[in-house]
Amino acid sequence: MADHILKPSRKNLHGSLSKSIPPVLTITPGETVDFTTLEADWRIARPDSPLSSSGVFMERSFPADQGHALCGPVYIQGARPGMTLAVRINQIIPGTWGWSRVGGGDPDHLSRIGFEGDEYFLIWDIDRQKGICRSHMGHCVPLSPFMGVMAVAPDSDDYVKTHAPGPYGANMDCRDITAGSILYLPIYTQGALFSTGDGHARQGDGESGCTAIECPMEQVSMTFNLIDEPLDSPVCNSPKGWITFGFHSDLTVAAYYALMDMCRLMERLYGFGHKEAMAMASVAVDMKITQLVNGIRGVHALLPHGVISTM
């Protein structure tokens, strides 16, 4: 049973990241929070037509609510700058509907994929028992839920947009951060001020259209702990393996950021020298495009569990 439950009432929602946003919940390390989240665009009900403007929306206040509907912030007692927040994702239970869209996103990305004209919008029904998502056009894909946005507050009093990922997390859109993962985030302010939202029922690596299947989440169970060590950028220990991330407007630069962070992680995990880590990364690490669509591109490096051993 969770120590705390956080529902998406108006007072528990915000759409930017800032250390000036007051916490809505205070917890101690080791405690668990069960979040219920809205879908990214602040809908509180299933869209009633294949248009992104359709549906019933939660009221918003700008500029504070300019981005994804995030639940939080959560203040973790004892968290301070220079420490690391460890977020264990225990369970993710999606709602019963979602949507996806091509159009309305980063114009540079849309032009590169040859998109012109009006948006293309799909409404999805989510069958949790069968583990499938079915669109109103009859497309069917397996259910694979994860959270698009998990973030601590950056060291800024201004409102930082949620759409761009950064060292504090935010819109990482990594489909491999599933239940059973531990996400490690650098802490920039007292209490860490953690928030989450932008639930996804399914997404391919790259989020190459514009969105995933965006959906509300009925329950996202997370347990929070502190590590008294610094961290430069997010790291994840997922069921598939260790993950490091790179974020940059240039996809190649983002890839090298992720790769070099992975080499540094391998040095810590295995005691490798730097050249040894680079050599082993070439034979053991998978480089994946996380997302292309948010202006700031994302790449993640995946080191599968058990791929490196000694005889």
pLDDT of residue 243: 98
pLDDT of residue 294: 87
Domain spans of the chain, in order of start: 4-227, 240-304
The whole-chain average pLDDT of the chain stands at 95
For tokens 């980063």, name the residue: 106
pLDDT of residue 209: 87
Contacts of 189 (CB under 8 A, 6+ apart): 19, 81, 152, 153, 154, 155
Chain mean position to CA 106: 18
Q: Mean pLDDT per segment of 10 residues, for the chain of length 311 residues? A: 93 97 98 98 94 91 94 98 98 98 82 86 97 97 98 96 95 97 98 98 93 97 98 97 97 98 97 97 98 93 94 67
Determine which helix (DSSP H) or strand (DSSP E) holds 150, and give its type and residue range: strand 146-151
Residue 253 half-sphere exposure toward CB, CA atoms < 13 A: 6
Residues 103 and 109: their CA atoms lie apart, in Å, by: 10
Name the pTM for this structure: 0.96
Residues 212 and 304: their CA atoms lie apart, in Å, by: 24
pLDDT of residue 311: 67
2.60.120.580, 3.40.50.720, 3.10.20.580, 3.20.20.70: CATH of 4-227? 2.60.120.580
Cβ of 23: how many Cβ atoms within 10 Å?
18
What is the CATH number assigned to the segment(s) 240-304? 3.10.28.20
pLDDT of residue 11: 96
For tokens 């993962």, name the residue: 181
